[in-house]
Amino acid sequence: MDLSTTYLGLPLKNPVIVGSSGLTDTPEKIKEWEKNGAGAVVLKSLFEEEIIFEYEEVLKEVQNTGYNMEQFDYYDFVLKKKKLDAYLALIEEAKKAVSIPVIASVNCVYSHEWTAFADKIQDAGADAIELNMFFLPSDMNRTSREMEERYLKVINTLTARVSIPVSVKISYHFSSLGQMIKTISDTGVSGMVLFNRFFNPDIDIERQEIKPSFVFSAPSDIAMPLRWIALMYQRVNCDLAASTGVHDGDAVIKQILAGARAVQVVSALYKNRSGTIPAMLDRLTGWMGDKGYETLSDFRGKLSHVKADDPAVLERVQFMKYYA
């Protein structure tokens, strides 16, 4: 079977991409994922908030020492340059280590100031940039339209700076999700990833403290991206990739049937490591043989909203007979 596909205009030997995480933060790890069959990798993100938090900590120290704050721009420059240089080195070393596409990732939470780094990321050899965006809609003083405009401002600034493909990884927290996905796809981005997974808090009832939890996705988490890949297939002007809940070969097949060009995998790799991708590809190959498909395009989008025999199922939101 021919498992090759294209994503963001990049040729991939198969649709399985190792998503941005600690699994892709060194050239050595990236080489191992290529050996295990990955079609591409997304590097661990350059976190804008990490740079800002470090800046704020140094700022507090300097303020307490009575330092001349007019000269503090120097510290701002040094901190950002240190983080950026380390990230550029990762890109350059990864590109030398593997032949599969290497996609840089920037996690944006505050502003678009970091987009000034985009041309350097491009010059370092990244095949594409994935913009991982989420502004928590907790500001009661901002309208939904103002929040949406923040996203579009960052996206438009980035796409204007670079010539390499740009993808946008978003959440489903929009008041009109379908319209926002379509609007973003019209900006000139090459792809969208549905959806990103967040840090979520839990509560320790004994210590009465907030703690991190729910780190990894579960197979059932595929439901949300599966629905929206299927709904948006052939309704957007860019590629669609599925993320969250892809734990086995069946999940890969489902997302391609829905319309995905590629899938991103992280949690399953943390849980099962090196055997995961080969098992996914074996399942995909075997299923295609059983169904008489020779290429992914033979069945991509077959069960999308625009092609399904019963598209209303994808729009149904209330249980009817399931729990009779």
HEC profile of 237-257? CCEEEEECCCCCHHHHHHHHH
DSSP secondary structure string, 107-155?
A: EESS-SGGGGGHHHHHHTT-SEEEEEE---TT-TTS-HHHHHHHHHHHH
**Rounded average pLDDT over 2-22:** 97
Give the mean pLDDT of 306-324.
Answer: 66
Mean pLDDT, the chain, whole residue set = 86
**214 backbone φψ class: left, alpha, beta (φ>0; ψ -120 to 50):** left
Residue 26 pLDDT more than 50?
yes
Cα-trace Rg, the chain:
21
**pLDDT value of residue 82:** 78
Q: What is the pLDDT of residues 255-279, one digit of tens each?
A: 999 999 999 999 999 988 889 999 9
| Residue 245: C-alpha distances to residues 107, 153, 227, 284 (Å) | 20, 30, 12, 17
Residue whose structure tokens are 């839990």: 202
Condensed to tens digits (0 to 9), the pLDDT of residues 77-133 reads 455 677 788 999 999 999 999 999 999 998 876 555 567 778 889 999 999 999 988
Which tokens hold the place of 315?
């729009």
Per-residue pLDDT reduced to its tens digit, 36-76: 999 999 999 886 655 444 444 444 444 555 544 444 444 44
* Distance, CA of 122 to CA of 162 (rounded, Å): 7
**Would the pLDDT of 316 be above 70?**
no
pLDDT at position 282: 98
CA distance 240 to 104: 17
Please tell me the distance from the alpha carbon of residue 24 to that of residue 45, in angstroms, as a whole number.
Answer: 9
pLDDT at 135 over 80: no
Q: What is the per-residue pLDDT for 72?
A: 42
pLDDT on residue 321:
56
% of the chain exceeding 90 in pLDDT:
61
Half-sphere exposure of 156 (CA within 13 A, CB side): 9
> CB burial class (10 A; 0-12, 13-18, 19+) of residue 150?
middle
Cα 154–Cα 156–Cα 162 angle in degrees, nearest 5: 100
Task: Supply the pTM of this predicted model.
Answer: 0.86
For the segment 170-177, the average pLDDT, to the nearest whole number, is 90
288: tokens are 């295609």
Residue 247: pLDDT above 70? yes
Q: Which residues of 239-274 are buried (b: 16+ CB within 10 A; e: fewer)?
A: bbbbbbbbbbbebbbbbbbbbbbbbbbbbbbeeeee
Q: Average pLDDT in the 140-147 region?
A: 78
Residue 169 has pLDDT above 80, yes or no: yes
pLDDT of residue 84: 83
